[in-house]
Amino acid sequence: KPLAATLDEARAVVEAGRLAGVRVGCAPDTVLGTGVQTARKAVDDGLIGAPVAATATMVTPGHERWHPDPDFYYRPGGGPLLDMGPYYVTALVTLLGPVASVVGAASRTRTTRTIGSGPRAGEVIPVEIDTHVTGVLRHESGALSTLVMSFDSVATRASNIEVHGQAGSLVVPDPNRFDGEVRIHPLDGEWEALPPSAGYRDAARGYGIADLAAAGARVPARANGELAYHVLDVMSSLLDAAEGGAAVEVASTCERPAAVPLSDLT
């Protein structure tokens, strides 16, 4: 398994927390903001009917264009899925629940990259990992999420995330941000914006820790270690599926995190 050692380390952290009687928190906490939480409330309230599928798309021509030391993006442990996938997969689990199995494929278009900025501009670095990863996540609920993560594409007009149900479709904002506009298209309607109806207003980095501290006796907190471990397991399984050319069962599961009512956390 490409990430077997990392998974073992992550499981050890979660188990150590359990044995010590302390809670483990983990990024990303962007899903606690009004963007993803308003979309989740729309799903939970049945505004799109039974969820059928989702799409998640992140494309960029490569971070070497702007990052002065981009080597780690192109070494084992890097790549588009492990770079940005935690935001997207955590949002998908928040919206649709844990993932049961995955299929995938991956490729790389270049064996080298040229640094585009900083004191090393013009230096050529090797590419040791796949730079375009795509897959289908089968959620335990039966919904299917199609994921595209790429360092090989110039641009896209696709939404960061869309969720499709039997009675409507949702556009979900960038899961790397806390806010953003949620749009809905009912079956017999037109696209319209949904006002913020859930999540922490004006949230920012670190709200996962603040939420954990405010949780009191509630266990687990929303941005918790079991969720983070499951997301890592999903990504590792997707890379395994891409490498082996067959579906892979995701060994772990997690509770879908509790919803965040529209509120302030100061």
Beta carbons of 139 and 145 less than 8 angstroms apart: yes
Top pLDDT among 213 and 75 is at 75
pLDDT, position 5: 84
Which domains are delineated in the chain?
A: 4-249 (3.30.360.10)
pLDDT digits (tens, 9 = 90+) for 124-139: 999 999 999 999 999 9
CA-CA-CA-CA torsion sign (90, 2, 81, 246): negative
Quick one: which H or E segment has residue 202? none
| pLDDT > 70 in the chain, percent | 97
Burial environment of residue 161 by CB neighbours within 10 A (0 to 12, 13 to 18, 19 or more): buried
State yes or no: pLDDT of 1 exceeds 60.
no
pLDDT, position 204: 93
- The DSSP code for 99 is E
Rounded distance between C-alpha atoms, residue 113 and residue 101, angstroms = 33
Beta carbons of 95 and 36 less than 8 angstroms apart: yes
Top pLDDT among 219 and 177 is at 177
State yes or no: pLDDT of 3 exceeds 90.
no
State yes or no: pLDDT of 218 exceeds 70.
no
Give the predicted TM-score (pTM) of the model.
0.95
pLDDT band at 221 (very low <50, low <70, confident <90, very high): confident
pLDDT digits (tens, 9 = 90+) for 80-111: 999 999 999 999 999 999 999 999 999 999 99
- Token pair listed for 12: 């050890």
pLDDT, position 214: 83
State yes or no: pLDDT of 49 exceeds 80.
yes
